[in-house]
Amino acid sequence: MKEAEEHYILQQLAGGSNEAFNELVERYWNNIYAQALAWLKSPQAAQDVTQDVFTIVWEKRTHLPAVNNFRSYLFIIARNQLATQFRNRLKQEVEADISYYEEPGLQPEAMYAQRQLSAVIEAGIRQLPHQQQRAYLLSRDEGLSYDEVAEKMQTSKEATKKNIGRALNTLRSYLRANYDALFCIVWQLTAAALEIVINF
């Protein structure tokens, strides 16, 4: 779409034209949705993000004629919405379980983020007391049950449950303490990925 043509469409949209709005949606929807889906791994979440992006465009339509580069403007909105969605998901997963950070089948950018997150987790594991660390690693890396871990460590099943439970609680606290740094990594990767897709 040529710059003059796009500016005309933005002017029409500023005046409340549904036709102009639909043309922009048709132009950019698939690109934003595809990238959101690649990151969020959920068609519903990706659709929600994409809808939010265009809802914001509609709500701010009267300001659009002053926008010099609509694609960059749209990129900023999409980046912020996707980052917010990803940040909320990340926070929920940290609160619930750290298993998300070992999720397979991620996109290349997300794989890099995964490695960064895994490195933080490993640093947290190294800070655990010896018994908690050993119990946690036997359970996570070797897939042993509570009974098997207890037998290998020559301790009771109840003590094993407590050690693993405490280890998980400590790791969740560690992740929360490092949350801002983790999110900065994710946010930067998300921005780079979206910029590549939208600026085609």
Dmax over CA atoms of the chain, in Å, equals 76
**Is 197 contained in some domain?**
no
Task: Give 25-63 pLDDT, tens digit per residue.
Answer: 999 999 888 877 877 778 888 899 899 999 999 999 999
Shared domain check, 178 and 112: yes
Domain that holds residue 168: 101-182
> And the tokens for 136?
């946690």
How do the residues of the chain divide into helix, strand and coil, expressed in percent and rounded to 5? 85, 0, 15
CATH of the domain at 77: 1.10.1740.10
Q: How far is CA 38 from CA 111, 142, 199, in A?
A: 11, 30, 17
Answer yes or no: is pLDDT of 130 > 70.
yes
If one compares 3 and 58, the residue with the highest pLDDT of the two is 58
Shared domain check, 72 and 112: no
Task: Give 81-97 pLDDT, tens digit per residue.
Answer: 877 776 666 555 554 54
Give the count of domains, the chain: 2
Shared domain check, 140 and 73: no
**Is 68 contained in some domain?**
yes
Shared domain check, 149 and 175: yes
Give the CB-side neighbour count of residue 66, counting CA atoms within 13 A: 4
**Is 199 contained in some domain?**
no
Please give the Cα distance from 108 to 199 (Å, whole number): 19
Shared domain check, 107 and 58: no
DSSP state, residue 154 = T
Shared domain check, 112 and 35: no
Per cent of the chain over pLDDT 70 is 72
If one compares 111 and 135, the residue with the highest pLDDT of the two is 135
Shared domain check, 145 and 73: no
If one compares 15 and 89, the residue with the highest pLDDT of the two is 15
Read off the pLDDT band of 200 (50, 70, 90). Answer: very low
CATH of the domain at 150: 1.10.10.10
Which among 79, 96, 113 is the end of a domain?
96
If one compares 107 and 89, the residue with the highest pLDDT of the two is 89
The torsion angles phi and psi of 180, rounded to 5 degrees, stand at -60, -40
If one compares 39 and 104, the residue with the highest pLDDT of the two is 39
pLDDT at 12: 94
Shared domain check, 114 and 86: no
pLDDT at 179: 60
Shared domain check, 136 and 61: no
Q: How far is CA 125 from CA 4, 25, 175, in A?
A: 57, 46, 11
| CB-CB neighbours of 41 under 10 Å | 15
If one compares 63 and 172, the residue with the highest pLDDT of the two is 63
**Is 121 contained in some domain?**
yes
Shared domain check, 127 and 87: no
Read off the pLDDT band of 189 (50, 70, 90). Answer: low
Answer yes or no: is pLDDT of 6 > 50.
yes
> And the tokens for 120?
């933080």
**Is 43 contained in some domain?**
yes
Task: Give 71-82 pLDDT, tens digit per residue.
Answer: 888 888 888 887
